[in-house]
Amino acid sequence: MPGPRMTFACAAAAGLLWSGIAFAFAAPDRIEHPEHFVRIAAFTWSKARIEDMEADLTIASALPFAVDELEVVCTHYARSGVALASARRTIHTLLPAHGRIDVQKLDMGLIHAQTASSSCRIVSVSPA
């Protein structure tokens, strides 16, 4: 029979909040870290010209206030899963409270010739 399971409350009482799993349950603050509440809901990419990447993004916000200056980082991977390069761009568009925006043909610059896949994430936003 397996031993007792440690709940989040038990972990907090035992002072384990900074270790692995228990720490992951701590909710980020919407004011101090609004980027944690803005996500890329849909993402596709293509090679625009010979070596350029264009991204189409749908960005959604769970924030109760509007944000702008959305900073996006896309990381490019080889077929083996190795990260080849990354690109950072700022989207200068207002994202309303609890809203969505579509960004079409965002130029992410040069893309490595061996890129097989890419993923993007929001790394920072500014309150509007």
Pairwise CA distance, residues 7 & 119, whole Å: 33
Q: Which tens digit of pLDDT belongs to each residue from 6-18?
A: 333 333 333 433 3
Parent domain of 16 = 1-28
What CATH number does the domain containing 47 carry? 2.60.40
pTM above 0.95, yes or no: no
Residues contacting residue 5 through CB under 8 Å, at least 6 positions apart: none
> Do 19 and 52 lie in a common domain?
no
Q: Mark whether 6 and 46 lie in a shared domain.
A: no
Q: Do residues 72 and 121 share a domain? A: yes
Q: Which of the four pLDDT bands, split at 50, 70 and 90, describes residue 28? A: low
Same domain, 50 and 24: no
Question: Do both 1 and 55 map to the same domain?
Answer: no
Q: Which residues pair with 118 in a beta bridge?
A: 76
Tell me the pLDDT tens digit for each residue of 68-78.
999 999 999 99
61/95 same-domain check: yes
Q: Are residues 65 and 20 in the same domain?
A: no
55 plus 22 within the same structural domain: no
Domain shared by 19 and 62, yes or no? no
